[in-house]
Structure 1
Amino acid sequence: CSLRLVFISFLPTKHSLSLSPSQNSKNTQGLVGLRNLGNTCFMNSILQCLSNTHDLRDYCLRNTHRIDLNNNCRAKAALMEEFAKLTQTLWTTASNEAVSPSDFKTQVQKYAPRFMGYNQQDAQEFLRFLLDGLHNEVNRGSLRARTPVEDFDHLSDDEKAKRMWNKYLEREDSKVVDLFVGQLKSSLTCSECGFCSTVFDPFWDLSLPIAKSSGEVTLNDCLRLFTKEDVLDGNEKPTCQRCKAKRKCTKKFTIQKFPKVLVLHLKRFSEARVKTAKLSTFVNFPIKELDLRQFASDNSVNAIYNLYAVSNHTGTTLGGHYTAYCRNPSSGEWYTYNDSRVSPMSSSQVRSSDAYVLFYELTNCSRM
């Protein structure tokens, strides 16, 4: 749900230490903070998570994005340019002094006016807007001719999924899609005749409901809740393609195509009758070897992920602050990013009840 309340940004704690200025530039690569421009911790948190996304970082550092920008001349490229420039600064500056993301924020506001001003915003919503904006500016598919609409219903599920994925790439094809987009399979089974219809849709992230439990809640519990079979009855009855009538059906999600970078959003904010409430449930998630094969359409695929970044939200809906925990892709060490402050941390500290958006990378980097 959309979080539109104004937050109060907390100041970094006295225990949040800056890296020593005596360290050389190689040791400070990627360990540079971002200044808070006024309630912009939500933006800083997401930027640090993306800066530590290995392939996206390299895409910017090697200026490969310029090739896609040049080939996509109809797009205004200021957002991608500022993002790349900021990423390059975080990874090449000889100083560990915090940098200002003000030029980047200016371009964000032009692309998405809802982020104008200095009110606190929802980090996951910002991530979606940002990835969409970056993708649009380096979209290789925007210049391609469209092929006619085809009917894939007569094909097997696997063939239908491939055709629909290729159809999607005709329109939406960028480095951002290469990294972040997967494919979800939705199966609808008629309780009357047993006919099963399938739909395949791209996804940029998965928003997971937080399971209710008297004991420990795990990430797998949340994924099971997301993929559990739902009964559609009463006013929700869909029309069965075979019966040609509204029928009670069961609906289930599975993951057809796993993205290289899997973004999992824990739905901590819920709209109550009077106000927005926050769930502070501790969700236990693995740092290494998150095995998602049980949620795959085909459980023989590679679906093992390692965590590399977390966007955290501390506080309540009335006053909160965003930070990031990221594993440096060069050293493999974990660090806390708290606006201007960057400090080393242990991997044992990464799990907390503040975890809001989780970033996982597929262990085998080759695409399916």
Structure 2
Amino acid sequence: MSPVYSPPKYSTGSTLLSPYSSYDPCDPTLGYIVRGQPQLSRYAPSTSRYLNPSPCLARGVLFFPQEPERGRAAPHSEPHIGRRSESYSRMQVKGQIPRIIGPRGRSPSRTGYSCTSPLSRQRRSVSQSDLMRELATLEICDQGAVERGGYTVKESAIRGRADYSVPLCWSSENSKNAQGLVGLRNLGNTCFMNSILQCLSNTHDLRDYCLRNTHRTDLNHNCRAKAALMEEFAKLTQTIWTSASSEAISPSDFKMQIQKYAPRFVGYNQQDAQEFLRFLLDGLHNEVNRVTVKPRSLMEDFDHLSDDEKGKRMWNKYLESEDSKVVDLFVGQLKSSLTCNECGFCSTVFDPFWDLSLPIAKTSGEVSLMDCLRLFTKEDVLDGNERPTCHRCKTRRKCTKKFTIQKFPKILVLHLKRFSECRVRTSKLSTFVNFPLKELDLREFGSDNSVNAVYNLYAVSNHTGTSLGGHYTAYCRNPCIGEWYTYNDSRVSPMSSSQVRSSDAYVLFYESATSSRM
């Protein structure tokens, strides 16, 4: 195992404000308070000590630049990025600013999406009819061909939208291999990136969004990055699904763009897969946000409304500034209730979330995903120094806090909190969490009128190893044929659904059963 430099500890905190309202960590109240507009973003994660999204907080990790890839990295905030993907955790995280010592690893390929190394010979072949039936729904028309990475792809566009033509490729010559069963070359400690990219590539609606070139109609040219990240992500997705070769491709062009958007990914140090997912979704959303001119922030009082109506108003207010295909798929709404134990006054806050960070229950027996969800949503009593100020009592009172999912997203991302901070280093929980592949019923965690609360699993990002050394892989269910495959950088191989559950599961991707193809 490679030597490790243990970084010094630095405490940091969130500087972003709530998109709607929040409990002030310094002077908490139970009344509904609408915050002013922050400079970085109108709708940013909550600053509540009780609702703590952590994309902008640093979490210390040890880095290993050599292969096999080691460790997991600490999340950083990039000062130029205005909005963060909201993720909710029950506990506030103190972060670290890591210092990295060691070689830089391998250099990336100069050519993006080029064929580089052979896949596993065990990869399953699927009939041409299966693929063509799947792709027929995309309504693609051919408009010529171009060369890329040693194989031919065709210039295609959606019928009736000839103005938006990008390289696409479905033909009789390559349709057998165009199953999304293409590996990604490791560019030097980039297994974290490859794992998440394969999970997103097998996200059916997001894949179709790229293959149909619909993203081009949504490109926000007012965005700082000029939509370069979305373009490279779409090209990479198209190449994965349309490659005529059975060899891995290099995602170097995509890596270049994600590095420009989030400089923390510059270099070849190992990073955390969940943090990479947050930055990537945030960048993609910014570039295809349908809102080009955001409205001014107005002070509004919704206290007189019922919780359901208040939640709807808050959601519509969020969409006035943040509206994209990425939001359509990945964003849900979380309700936080705080009840005064003295007078019974209840204050509710509604916040958008992009994923949920679930604590792993500590027990001697088997731990299920439902146990983790119940631990996340269980009632907590705030007493002592944590007592907030009751809006009705006008004094600090003992209160009860509870989370409820107000609006379920189409794609539910669940992060298992396997890594925790100790006094001297990060530790990892290798607890086996039993999660269902089908019919994850979350209605007990939703509001009274919640719908679409049943989910099917379609992808898992795995972390094998310890906090001192590890490697990321992905298990994905192919959206065309419904069978599971292992994605280990360049290697792709079939697997049994019985192998999907393991103690390495780190990020779970569920899709709503109403749109699932299982």
Check the 8 A contact 2:61/2:426 in 1, yes or no: no
The structural deviation recorded for 1:82 is: 0.4
Change (3 A) 1:149 1:265: same
CA distance in 2, matches of 1:21, 1:100: 21
Paired amino acid for 1:17 = S
CA distance in 2, matches of 1:53, 1:149: 38
Check the 8 A contact 2:382/2:401 in 1, yes or no: yes
Check the 8 A contact 2:123/2:494 in 1, yes or no: no
The structural deviation recorded for 1:172 is: 0.4
Tell me what 1:200 maps to.
350
CA distance in 2, matches of 1:284, 1:236: 34
Tell me what 1:10 maps to.
68
Paired amino acid for 2:231 = E
Check the 8 A contact 2:124/2:493 in 1, yes or no: no
Tell me what 2:29 maps to.
none
Question: 3-state DSSP class of the match of 1:314?
Answer: strand
Structure 2 counterparts to residues 31-46 of structure 1, below 5 A: 31-46=181-196
Check the 8 A contact 1:3/1:121 in 2, yes or no: no
CA distance in 1, matches of 2:410, 2:418: 25
Point out which structure has higher relative CO (alpha carbons under 8 A, 6+ apart).
Answer: 1
Check the 8 A contact 1:9/1:320 in 2, yes or no: no
1:273 is the counterpart of 2:423: yes
Gaps of 5+ in 2: 1-57, 70-118, 127-172
Tell me what 1:181 maps to.
331
Question: 3-state DSSP class of the match of 1:134?
Answer: helix
Change (3 A) 1:115 1:81: same
Tell me what 2:175 maps to.
26
Tell me what 1:214 maps to.
364
Tell me what 2:435 maps to.
285
Tell me what 1:73 maps to.
221
The structural deviation recorded for 1:19 is: 4.6
- Deviation per residue, 1:47-68 (Å, 9 max, x gap): 0000000000000000000000
The structural deviation recorded for 1:301 is: 2.4
Change (3 A) 1:174 1:110: same
CA distance in 1, matches of 2:449, 2:60: 36
Tell me what 1:166 maps to.
316
The alignment's TM-score, normalised by the length of structure 2, stands at 0.67
Paired amino acid for 2:120 = L
Check the 8 A contact 1:9/1:319 in 2, yes or no: no
CA distance in 2, matches of 1:119, 1:173: 33
Change (3 A) 1:96 1:19: farther
Check the 8 A contact 1:9/1:41 in 2, yes or no: no
Paired residue for 2:494, among 326, 331, 344? 344
- Deviation per residue, 1:221-270 (Å, 9 max, x gap): 00000000001111111111111111110000010000000000000000
The structural deviation recorded for 1:20 is: 5.5
Tell me what 1:318 maps to.
468
Check the 8 A contact 1:9/1:321 in 2, yes or no: no
CA distance in 2, matches of 1:89, 1:43: 16
The structural deviation recorded for 1:145 is: 3.2
Check the 8 A contact 2:124/2:494 in 1, yes or no: no
Check the 8 A contact 1:3/1:122 in 2, yes or no: no
1:109 is the counterpart of 2:259: yes
Question: 3-state DSSP class of the match of 1:364?
Answer: coil
The structural deviation recorded for 1:299 is: 6.0
Structure ID, larger Rg: 2
CA distance in 2, matches of 1:145, 1:257: 23
Tell me what 1:99 maps to.
249
Check the 8 A contact 1:268/1:278 in 2, yes or no: yes
CA distance in 2, matches of 1:303, 1:20: 34
1:253 is the counterpart of 2:403: yes
Check the 8 A contact 2:123/2:181 in 1, yes or no: no
| Count of residue correspondences | 360
CA distance in 2, matches of 1:17, 1:347: 19
CA distance in 2, matches of 1:349, 1:33: 20
CA distance in 2, matches of 1:286, 1:321: 24
Question: 3-state DSSP class of the match of 2:316?
Answer: helix
RMSD: 1.7
Paired amino acid for 2:281 = L
The structural deviation recorded for 1:22 is: 8.3
Deviates more, 1:43-52 or 1:148-157: 148-157
Tell me what 1:228 maps to.
378
Change (3 A) 1:193 1:347: same
The structural deviation recorded for 1:194 is: 0.5
Could you tell me the percent identity over the aligned residues?
82
CA distance in 1, matches of 2:424, 2:221: 48
Question: 3-state DSSP class of the match of 2:420?
Answer: strand
Question: 3-state DSSP class of the match of 1:294?
Answer: helix
The structural deviation recorded for 1:300 is: 5.5
Change (3 A) 1:300 1:113: closer
Paired residue for 1:126, among 276, 291, 296? 276
1:60 is the counterpart of 2:117: no
Deviates more, 1:1-10 or 1:217-226: 1-10
